[in-house]
Amino acid sequence: MSAVQFTVDADGIATLVLDMPGRSMNVLNDELTTPFGEAISKIEGDAAIKGVIITSGKKEFLAGADIEKVYAMTDPKEAFEMAEAYKAFLRRLEKCGRPVVAALNGTALGGGLELALACHYRVAIDDAKAKFGLPEVKLGLLPGGGGTQRLPRLIGMQAALQPMLEGKEFKPSEAKLAGFINELAKDKDELLAKAKAWVLANPKAVQPWDDKKFKFPGGDSKSPAMVQLLAIAPSMAHAKTQENYPAADNILSCVYEGGVVDFETGCRIESRYFAELVVSQVSKNMIGTLWFQLNAINKGKSRPEGFPRSSVKKLGVLGAGMMGAGIAYVSAKVGIEVVLLDTSQEAADKGKAYSTTLLDKQVKKGRMTAGARDEFLARITPTTDFAKIEGCDLVIEAVFEDRSIKAEVTKKTEAVLAASATFASNTSTLPITGLATASTRPKNFIGLHFFSPVDKMPLVEIILGAETSPETLAKGFDYVQQIKKTPIVVNDSRGFYTSRVFATYIMEGASLLLEGQHPRSIEMAGLKAGMPVGPLALHDEVSLSLSHHILEQTRKDYAAEGKAMPEHPANALIEKMVKTLDRPGKKAGKGFYDYPQNGEKHLWKGLAEQFPLSPNQLEQSALIDRLMYVQANEAAKCFEENVVMTVADTNIGSIFGWGFAPHQGGALQFINAVGVAKFVARSEELAAKYGARFQPAALLKKMAAEGRRFE
């Protein structure tokens, strides 16, 4: 069976239905493009054909390129020829002498949208689940099928640059407003009817850029308005990417250079920039982790087999603070009934008000009706009454990080909770096995570690206690996916995975400050490394007082076990900042930074006095190595100790959990890209100079000796 079904109706309208056998989604590869090319030849050779409609037999239109093929490429010539071949194919389509309409019955991303842009008209079903865009930059690539040339010529350079640089995905109504979808339809019948009507009404359709009188909407690269835009756009992009993402530069270059040459030359320029990116280490890092590994996680790689899919209908949230309020919001958003419980009605109401604030903003922007907002809020019940927890499928405890408080709410909850229900703790550091001792059913006890702010952060870390059952893990996994988050699964330990490794970044920043490195240099090194925020600013965000609390709690735990706690060199700095200097972090308006009410935050001037500068200031590359190697090495230790069980969970957890440089593909992929042997050698150099925290994991030494890498 052909991947392209070709029919011609009585009016001479050819319909091409893309429907690849044995696949749930159409992708661009030889299996599709070969019969598509044959169909174009039929159109070109048959004068009776008056127009063309292209649609899909799948739920979605066309996902885009075959990522496996792109990922495997190491020869830029091969990548260039692939891009040129696809563009030649699309060029034949748009110059076949007949009107061509893309009837978009679902999502069209990347190469799928580029196919639609090569049609003369685009009609889409107005389905909120459908997405349209050119998101290649998210995988370290650029649109290689003419997207950087067609979209600016269709909607203007400025309008085209932002979605390509950000990889934005549009809903149908947004795409129509942006100007690259022409018309919307309510269903497939209306979609095809509108497509046919346009074909019949426009027998001599040509692309705007093939008209001799064509001008770029808003001006080309030589026009005064665009000259100004293109003069500042690279510096704005560099400020955002710190030059870690070559795709952004290449997209800007394609658009600028395409704006001073003809369409055909612009397409060839695009192919060259595309080929450079395909073989780059950045694209290999990002595709490997943010495509293959992320898809494996989302398909349930870490979910136990043998248990039917479950869903939560009623959720209890204990603690209506920032975390609890966020958990209530994301749960109610997907239709779950939520009981939000706190010690006072005022606190519970305040937790619900968090959702009200977020929803009011959506109503104000026209993204939600007042009725939909009220319906949403009706699903959240703020209370102080534990009896209302009855009937919950899942209860998530999000109270203060104190064992006795957590134990108390566990017992009160289990008194009214069904035997089959799951109890979860949102703790970020306290071992789940220890917390589960307060439970009468530890098999049903699990950790669900959310990240703040919950409504924005994409990850949930699922933590297994010593007695957590596989069924409980399956239920926890299903709930995380139900609220549209990405789950990673880790075993129980102090700090688990994300908190444990995240701490190395902010503590290394503190160590550098204690050693007399300039605070601005420390912050810039973090940004240049690809982290979203410098380590000192990030420490302020999570609060120095929390670090101090965890430090004191950990010392107590070690003492209770009769052990001496290993001291980090930055512990003294944390204690000085919190206890002596009373600078606990951003929430208090003072930490490493000052936070004036009516101004920009800035580094506290007193840092120079409290932590005098050393005459031996390190090179930026050395600062970056310390900040990155300490994180990657700790991640490798977590993998070695089976705290985190898969390479995918380790990499995705690092990027989504605390923002480990996405262009590096995650903490373990960073080691792969450096080379395991080189990473070990550099780690040993750092350990000799700065301490045992840099000593490479035993697993890494073994892998280096055997010539292995993380797979």
148, 251 in Cβ contact below 8 A? yes
Q: Which helix (H) or strand (E) holds 108?
A: strand 108-109
Task: Note whether residue 711 is domain-resident.
Answer: no
- For 103-108, what is the mean pLDDT? 97
Last residue of a domain, one of 467, 494, 521: 494
471 and 526 housed in the same domain: no
Distance CA 508, CA 495 (A): 17
Domain that holds residue 126: 4-279
Task: Note whether residue 302 is domain-resident.
Answer: no
Whether the ω angle into residue 453 lies within 30 degrees of 0, i.e. cis, is: yes
- Residue 577 CB coordination number (10 Å): 29
Burial class from Cβ neighbours inside 10 Å (0-12, 13-18, 19+) for residue 444 reads buried
Distance CA 294, CA 290 (A): 5
**Residue 558, pLDDT score:** 87
Distance CA 645, CA 82 (A): 37
694, 687 in Cβ contact below 8 A? yes
Helices (H), 59-186: 67-72, 76-94, 111-117, 147-155, 157-166, 172-178
Please say if 461 is a catalytic residue: yes
Distance CA 156, CA 283 (A): 27
408, 437 in Cβ contact below 8 A? no
- Residue 21 CB coordination number (10 Å): 9
Distance CA 141, CA 114 (A): 14
- Residue 475 CB coordination number (10 Å): 25
257, 234 in Cβ contact below 8 A? no
Whether residue 487 has pLDDT greater than 90: yes
Structure tokens at 540: 């302020």
Burial class from Cβ neighbours inside 10 Å (0-12, 13-18, 19+) for residue 700 reads buried
Task: Note whether residue 306 is domain-resident.
Answer: no
Q: Give tens-digit pLDDT for 235-279.
A: 988 888 999 999 999 999 999 999 999 999 999 999 999 999 999
**Could you tell me what percent of the chain has a pLDDT over 70?**
100
Distance CA 448, CA 320 (A): 16
Whether residue 702 has pLDDT greater than 90: yes
Reported as half-sphere exposure (CB side, CA atoms, 13 A), residue 142 has a value of 33
Last residue of a domain, one of 279, 300, 327: 279
3-class state of residue 56 by DSSP? strand
242, 528 in Cβ contact below 8 A? yes
Task: Note whether residue 294 is domain-resident.
Answer: no
128, 186 in Cβ contact below 8 A? no
Distance CA 218, CA 256 (A): 14
Whether residue 428 has pLDDT greater than 90: no
Distance CA 50, CA 198 (A): 12
142 and 194 housed in the same domain: yes
Residues forming a β-bridge with 487: 460
Distance CA 185, CA 193 (A): 9
Whether residue 203 has pLDDT greater than 90: yes
Task: Note whether residue 287 is domain-resident.
Answer: no
**Residue 550, pLDDT score:** 86
228 and 375 housed in the same domain: no
Residues forming a β-bridge with 122: 102
505 and 544 housed in the same domain: yes
DSSP tag of 428: S
Q: Give tens-digit pLDDT for 209-244.
A: 999 999 999 999 999 989 988 889 889 888 889 999
**Residue 229, pLDDT score:** 87
Instruction: Give Cβ neighbours of residue 62 (< 8 Å, ≥ 6 apart).
Output: 18, 26, 27, 28, 56, 108, 111, 112, 115
116 and 173 housed in the same domain: yes
DSSP tag of 65: B
436 and 508 housed in the same domain: no
Instruction: Give the type of residue at 397.
Output: E
CA-angle at 669, arms to 666 and 674, nearest 5°:
125
523 and 635 housed in the same domain: yes
- What pTM value is reported for the model? 0.94
Cα dihedral sign for 494, 495, 500, 506? negative
478 and 504 housed in the same domain: no
- Which CATH number belongs to the domain containing residue 613 in this structure? 1.10.1040.50
* Band of pLDDT at residue 1, cut at 50, 70 and 90: confident
Cα dihedral sign for 671, 673, 678, 682? negative
Distance CA 318, CA 389 (A): 9
Structure tokens at 248: 């952004």
**Residue 336, pLDDT score:** 98
- Which CATH number belongs to the domain containing residue 346 in this structure? 3.40.50.720
209 and 180 housed in the same domain: yes
Distance CA 245, CA 138 (A): 9
The string of DSSP letters for 318-342 reads: E--SHHHHHHHHHHHHTT-EEEEE-
Whether residue 566 has pLDDT greater than 90: no
Task: Note whether residue 265 is domain-resident.
Answer: yes
Whether residue 127 has pLDDT greater than 90: yes
Reported as half-sphere exposure (CB side, CA atoms, 13 A), residue 21 has a value of 6
**Residue 567, pLDDT score:** 87
**How many angstroms separate the first and last alpha carbons of the chain?**
36
- Residue 23 CB coordination number (10 Å): 14
Least confident of 563-567, 639-643, 681-685: 563-567
Whether residue 579 has pLDDT greater than 90: yes
**Residue 255, pLDDT score:** 97
CA-angle at 183, arms to 181 and 184, nearest 5°:
105
> Catalytic residue among 461, 508, 523, 634, which?
461
Q: Is 546 left (phi over 0), alpha (psi -120 to 50) or beta?
A: alpha
177 and 41 housed in the same domain: yes
Structure tokens at 166: 């950000």
CA-angle at 372, arms to 370 and 377, nearest 5°:
95
* Band of pLDDT at residue 475, cut at 50, 70 and 90: very high
The dihedral over CA atoms of 282, 287, 290, 294, expressed in degrees to the nearest 10, equals -150
3-class state of residue 245 by DSSP? coil
What's the number of domains the chain is made of? 3
**Residue 225, pLDDT score:** 86
Last residue of a domain, one of 472, 494, 516: 494
Furthest-apart CA atoms within the chain: distance in Å: 89
Count of helix runs (H) and strand runs (E) in the chain: 30, 19
Q: Give tens-digit pLDDT for 307-358.
A: 999 999 999 999 999 999 999 999 999 999 999 999 999 999 999 999 999 9
- For 158-182, what is the mean pLDDT? 96
**Residue 186, pLDDT score:** 97
- For 161-167, what is the mean pLDDT? 95
Q: In whole angstroms, what separates CA 491 from the centre of its chain?
A: 23
468 and 538 housed in the same domain: no
Nearest CA-CA partner of 341 in 352, 330, 329 = 352
Q: Give tens-digit pLDDT for 387-402.
A: 999 999 999 999 988 8
Structure tokens at 100: 């061509």
- Residue 703 CB coordination number (10 Å): 22
Distance CA 83, CA 87 (A): 6
**Residue 564, pLDDT score:** 84
Instruction: Give the type of residue at 127.
Output: D
Whether residue 463 has pLDDT greater than 90: yes
Task: Note whether residue 480 is domain-resident.
Answer: yes
Reported as half-sphere exposure (CB side, CA atoms, 13 A), residue 464 has a value of 23
Burial class from Cβ neighbours inside 10 Å (0-12, 13-18, 19+) for residue 463 reads buried
Question: 360 — phi, psi (to 5°)?
Answer: -60, -35
171, 128 in Cβ contact below 8 A? yes
Task: Note whether residue 634 is domain-resident.
Answer: yes
132 and 268 housed in the same domain: yes
- Which CATH number belongs to the domain containing residue 41 in this structure? 3.90.226.10
* Band of pLDDT at residue 87, cut at 50, 70 and 90: very high
Q: Give tens-digit pLDDT for 659-675.
A: 999 999 999 999 999 99
Average pLDDT, the chain: 96
- Residue 651 CB coordination number (10 Å): 30
Distance CA 133, CA 167 (A): 7
Q: Give tens-digit pLDDT for 587-611.
A: 999 999 999 998 999 999 999 999 9
Distance CA 356, CA 349 (A): 10
Distance CA 314, CA 58 (A): 34
